[in-house]
Each structure stands twice: as structure tokens, then as C-alpha cells.
Amino acid sequence: MSGKIGFIGLGIMGKPMARNLIKAGYSLVVYRKLDEAGAEQAASPRDVAERAEDVIITMLPDSSNVRDVVAGKNGIIEGCRRGQAVVDMSSIAPLASRELCALLAEKDVDMIDAPVSGGQEKAESGTLAIMAGGGEAAYERVKPILDVMGRSVRVGESGAGQIAKLVNQTIVAINIAAVAEGMSLAEKAGVDPRMVFEAIRKGLAGSQCLEDKAPRMFEGRYDPGARIKLHIKDLANVLETGRALHNSMPLSAILMEMFQSLAGDGGEALDHGALGLFYEKLNGISLKKS
């Protein structure tokens, strides 16, 4: 596929993703303004769909936004046509994603759910982890576009990408808390957590979360990154999906409570690494080193 790509959702993540597509030689039609040569502005999601050639990408905060943009008044569904594909890169509830896929299928329009992991930095560098769900033929058609934004893996049929994202967010939240819980013990025991970090990072405790979040905790640096508010949304989807399937997720449930405590302290806009702050308050310590 080539030609003009529709792109709806130019937030912290969407903007650098759109810019990378332009850099790669694609032209875009966007809903909100993108100050960039190569992007023309449309009046509505419907208008985006009408003016786009083969692919319309959405990158929005949550399920209700995607539902509005796809199926609401002046939505994509009113403007799209047979043979197009909607690639929803938002992180939303798997059930909502499957519903929208079914709705678009009635118009012979494919939908690929393709949520991402990696945050603003990796959006900028075009190195996102992209978890795709949907038909294999449709995935292969949109893959060259996904390749511009990161490394994609098709994990299964419609909604499977969203499930993979929930698994990702489950593991990430728990891994960050593991770092904070472990480091709280070191600090309380009078051992410099920075030295513990150096000693354990190359062993079985090593993780991307340890590498990214432990230094944040030692610096008290909780600017996002990935906002707690969005991780709460993801964990709500984890627990909602788990409950619909009767899948018990005891650690995810506790992580939700930890994030609620941070949100209650006004921390919704902080990076999820602020689980360090949760353990500081819990245990009356400071992990921050001057």
C-alpha cells in the first residue's frame, strides 16, 4: 500500500509517529492540524476517510474516543470505502476493538488493532513495539507502514493486539513495582540502592523497567514518559477483561490500588515510574539521591 494515509490523533505519541511517516515519504491527511509539509487537514474523521487512499490510522486516548471517531457522527465509517484498512494504534479494550472491527467489516473495510509500547521517545525514533491483531492479508498490506513506526508482530486475529498490549502493561506495571519494592528494602537497610542496581542489573533481575525506572527513582525524575493516568486506563482494561473471562490477576489488582494511591496524591500526570513515590510513602523513605 502507498499513497495518502489518513491519520487521526496527533497527541504526544501520534505527532512523532505521523512525522516519521512523512519523513518516510508518505503524504498524510489529518484531522487536527499538523505543522508539517506533507500533511493536509480534513474537516472530520469522515472527511479523512474520504480523502485517504488505502489506510486510515487512529491514535487516540481510549475506547470511547476510538468509538466516536470510527462509528460516531461524521465518523470514519461514513466516509470509508471497500478495500481500505483502518489501523487503530490506540490502546483500548479488546472487546471494543473487536466490535469496531465487525462494524467496519460490514462495509468491507479491514481493521487492524495495532497498539504500541515504548512511549514518546520510541515514537520519535520509530522504534515502537507494535502488537497487531487482525486478518493476515490485511496485516501484510499495512505492514510497510507499521515498519516506519517500529517493530510489529501479528499476534492473532482482531483484538489480539489489544490483548498483547494488556499483557505488556500488566508485566510493565508489576516489574516497576518490583523494582521499587526491592529498592525500598535496600534503602531501609542502609544500603545504597544505586550500588544494588549496579550489582543486579546484569543478572536474572535485569529488565527494561529496572534500566529505565530505577535511575528515575534515584533522581526523583517522574516527568512522563508514560503517564499514570494512561496506565490506570490500561489496568482497568486488564481487570475488566480478566473479570469478563474469570481470569484471576491478583498482582494487577494490587497494582491498580497502588496507582490509585498515586492518583489520589495528584500524580496522574506523572510517569508510571512514580511507583517509587508510592513505596517512599509506604515505607517512610527517600530513594532520591542528590
8 binding a second copy? (CB under 8 A):
no
Q: Which is nearer to a second copy, 44 or 252 (CB)?
A: 252
Residue 186 is a binding residue for a second copy (CB under 8 A):
yes
Q: Residue 91 and residue 58: Cα distance in Å, rounded?
A: 10
Give how far Cα 279 sits from Cα of 23, 79, 163, 180, 209, Å.
43, 50, 29, 6, 16
Please, what is the minimum distance in Å from the beta carbon of residue 75 to a second copy?
27
Check binding of 210 to a second copy (CB under 8 A). Answer: yes
Contact region for a second copy (CB under 8 A) — 25-33, 52-60, 61-69, 162-170? 162-170
- Residue pair 50/178 in contact by the 8 Å Cβ criterion: no
In sequence order, the 6+-apart residues with CB closer than 8 A to the CB of 158 are 97, 98, 101, 102, 111, 113, 133, 134, 135
Residues 114-133, interacting with a second copy (CB under 8 A): 117-119, 128-133
The correct pick among 182, 217, 256, 276 for binding a second copy (CB under 8 A) is 182
Kindly state the number of chain residues that form the binding site for a second copy, as judged by CB under 8 A: 75
Phi, psi at residue 4, to the nearest 5°? -80, 125
Q: Which of 86, 172, 232, 270 binds a second copy (CB under 8 A)?
A: 172
64 binds a second copy (CB under 8 A): no
Site for a second copy in 254-273 (CB under 8 A): 254
What is each CA distance from 118 to 105, 126, 131, in whole angstroms? 30, 10, 11
The distance of closest approach from Cβ of residue 111 to a second copy in the complex, given in angstroms and rounded to an integer, is: 17
- Please indicate whether residue 188 is annotated as part of the active site: no
217 vs 111: CA distance, rounded Å: 40
Selecting among 15, 122, 165, 233, the annotated active-site residue is 165
Q: Is 45 in the site for a second copy (CB under 8 A)?
A: no
CA dihedral 204, 206, 209, 213 (to 10 degrees): 130
For every residue of 14-58, which 3-state class applies, written as one string?
HHHHHHHHHHCCCCEEECCCCCCCCEEECCCHHHHHHHCCCEEEE
Judged by CB, which is closer to a second copy: 44, or 241?
A: 241
For residue 252, the minimal CB distance to a second copy (Å) is: 6
81 versus 188: smaller Cβ distance to a second copy: 188
Cis bond before residue 225 (omega within 30° of 0): yes
CB of residue 169 vs a second copy: minimum separation in angstroms?
8
166 touching a second copy, by CB under 8 A: yes
Return the active site residues: 165
